[in-house]
Structure 1
């Protein structure tokens, strides 16, 4: 909920944004206020476990003070996040509003400062501190609910040369999806507390599609993780282009090893032929180790080829993913994008990694054991993604998105069978 200090900050930033700058005096230039509305609907059935649905209306008011003039510009920002439950089940969980103990809240509406902070910008660098979103192989805000999660921390970007980018950052807490208060960081699968996550990396991206990156991250007392990726393509996409992509994570436990011993390599590679508006992608992924590949909760911290509806991240698991994509602009349907996918995972075997957690009282027993046996087996999924962006002349930045998917699994695989249909309407004012 909005506190008095938060309201004071909001009011001060609003006045800074709306007050014109006198060219002869210090001040801010380029201030703005924008409004982002999202209608979010989701229906999910986890076989034998849970049925839930949600319908919420959500608004983000994004306000930016602009920057002070000069070689190093100082600026502030704040974003008011508002949500309203207009038809969710009692089992909706974080599809709607939850308390900090992760139990369902009965509040019909909620509001909080979902983003706020200060930044310093020069010609080739940007430093930000506050509550914000991130985009890197460890921290990609998991924006698949009415409002996105945001993390509190530091972020820095330096561009030493064209096409090159150096990033660093550190986060210590999160506004989780469905929650209006900050909570400590945890891992996604192990639910292990992470006091702080630090990362640094360098990335290269050329206009011809070639790219590469190398990152390192440290989740205090849990793991140290390295990430490497590369991509390149040959040919003309209007005739025939072939793109290749490789990515890999190398994870080792560190410090007090709160999530147990970890010695896991996870890698994937994919090939994507493209001809005009049509593209096909075939991806292979392998978890090489006896532990689950895990990442920070509330993030898409698994930048591998086959992480679609399921992550295909069980110990020793291999998987294949085939997808077909269409860009509607090439067939007279401007604004339409569609993807069909089909995935298959096999060979999951946690028989070694599960042994330290044999006791039902062990923190990771439920992750590694199922029906009294170590996790193992196979699973598969199929899904459809549709997106339509309305023409600018008709409606400014109006987007409709539909995701429908089905997941099947054997009895002792870690993730249960489920189906889900999700629909969002996004509008910027």
Structure 2
């Protein structure tokens, strides 16, 4: 049996090696042959007016102790085991074209609007980051804001954006898992002068949260409430040295919080029509900086994942480890956590180790393009905050904590017709935690339908 297993393994590796020989070829560094600015059609001729509408519903049930509170009209606070949020989020986005010439200019503006479809105080259990409420938890039935508003200047393939904008980097990234996405106020430069190398540089002083009308200062996702910072900056590059390998290297400075460094790499070997192997590595290094509002931080966190794909089937395993006596932390209202096991829980407790096994079925291989199914199970253990000596993170009561999470989901993207690119997604997630693990024990059902549209 051992000889047979060895023969099968060698055969599989040989198949991988010969399935797509060109995928491993080196990509020389070369300037792009064309310039995006040279293709500019003008401020008016290049304009567009588009948007989307999203129906967002989440039903949560605590399976052990109550996890939420709500306020009655008499001002009294009460524990609850349930939370239901249902909203309709609407986005209308205007983008001009770039003016012609060596330097092109353009503008972008997006109006965001939300209608609360569930307005019961006890059901919503607010305030929360799902439904906008008054401080007493009374829901706001409808509200709007300027989600994006910026001016752009472009030379060749390099663009400077000033104002409120959407950004996607491993350090500062918009998060779009609610009725509306977050956005950021500041300056950002994206340069893509080479075929396989691009650069990013940005600095921001405010965030526009997913469920707030006003701009806010940045704060950390897991640090003590009330600790804020005036500026978050990032710089990085994305480089593809081989056709099969993409890499990213970024650094960020969050004033008086931390300096953070990131390296990511993704490699594909083989041909998915037969068998391919995708390997992903994400690594973050975080150290305290400035006046150390979050105390001493010395944290190394990484994830390593392997995914085997055969036609429509993908089976993956992901290992993640936190090496530090505090949480692996990132900025609130961002998606700056490019770790494989960031799920309903982030699996980012002090000194935590976690393992996830997942399976994805893409039905395009069976004649239903756009339809996918997925399931996963993730387990975290060894959470130990007893060596933490600061006050910004509530972890010292965690001693050998553990938790697990499993989820199933399906999604469908319309392939053609008037509703082309519309998506519907349904997920059911269960999370179970030991007594001192912070995420608690709960079940969540989430249904999200997003319909994009174009006016001009």
The normalised TM-score by structure 2 is 0.83
2:296 matched to 1:255?
no
Going from structure 1 to structure 2, the CA distance change for 1:200 and 1:61 (only over 3 Å counts) comes to same
Structure 2: 5+ residue stretches without partners: 1-40, 69-81
Going from structure 1 to structure 2, the CA distance change for 1:420 and 1:207 (only over 3 Å counts) comes to farther
1-side partners of 2:427 and 2:229: how far apart? 31
Moved more, 314-323 or 152-161: 152-161
Going from structure 1 to structure 2, the CA distance change for 1:27 and 1:397 (only over 3 Å counts) comes to closer
Match of 2:101 in 1: 70
2-side partners of 1:384 and 1:58: how far apart? 25
Going from structure 1 to structure 2, the CA distance change for 1:338 and 1:88 (only over 3 Å counts) comes to farther
Q: Would the aligned equivalents of 2:90 and 2:113 in 1 still touch at CA under 8 Å? A: yes
Q: Would the aligned equivalents of 2:42 and 2:97 in 1 still touch at CA under 8 Å? A: no
Going from structure 1 to structure 2, the CA distance change for 1:49 and 1:26 (only over 3 Å counts) comes to closer
Matches within 5 A, 1:61-140: 61-90=92-121, 91-92=125-126, 93-99=128-134, 104-140=137-173
Going from structure 1 to structure 2, the CA distance change for 1:132 and 1:255 (only over 3 Å counts) comes to same
Q: CA deviation at 1:38?
A: 0.7
Q: Deviations over 1:185-215 (max 9, x none)?
A: 1000104312111000011247844100111
Match of 1:412, SS state, is coil
Of 328, 331, 337, 1:296 maps to 331
2-side partners of 1:95 and 1:138: how far apart? 23
Match of 2:365, SS state, is helix
1-side partners of 2:293 and 2:345: how far apart? 25
2-side partners of 1:27 and 1:222: how far apart? 41
Match of 1:418 in 2: 442
Q: Would the aligned equivalents of 2:312 and 2:361 in 1 still touch at CA under 8 Å? A: yes
Q: Deviations over 1:106-125 (max 9, x none)?
A: 32110111111101122220
Match of 2:213, SS state, is coil
Q: Would the aligned equivalents of 1:52 and 1:89 in 2 still touch at CA under 8 Å? A: no
2:211 matched to 1:178?
yes
1-side partners of 2:117 and 2:326: how far apart? 41
Of 352, 358, 361, 1:326 maps to 361
1-side partners of 2:238 and 2:42: how far apart? 35
2:374 matched to 1:356?
no
Match of 1:7 in 2: none
Of 373, 383, 402, 2:407 maps to 383
Matches within 5 A, 1:165-314: 165-190=198-223, 191=225, 192-205=227-240, 208-314=243-349
2:88 matched to 1:57?
yes
Moved more, 166-175 or 46-55: 46-55
Runs of at least 4 residues off by over 4 Å: none
Q: Deviations over 1:141-191 (max 9, x none)?
A: 221111111111111111231111100111111111211111111000104
Match of 2:427 in 1: 403
Of 52, 60, 76, 1:36 maps to 52
**Relative contact order higher in (CA < 8 Å, ≥ 6 apart):** 2
Match of 1:321, SS state, is strand
Q: Would the aligned equivalents of 1:54 and 1:89 in 2 still touch at CA under 8 Å? A: no
**C-alpha root-mean-square deviation of aligned residues, in Å?**
1.8
Moved more, 392-401 or 36-45: 392-401
1-side partners of 2:61 and 2:229: how far apart? 30
Aligned residues: 392
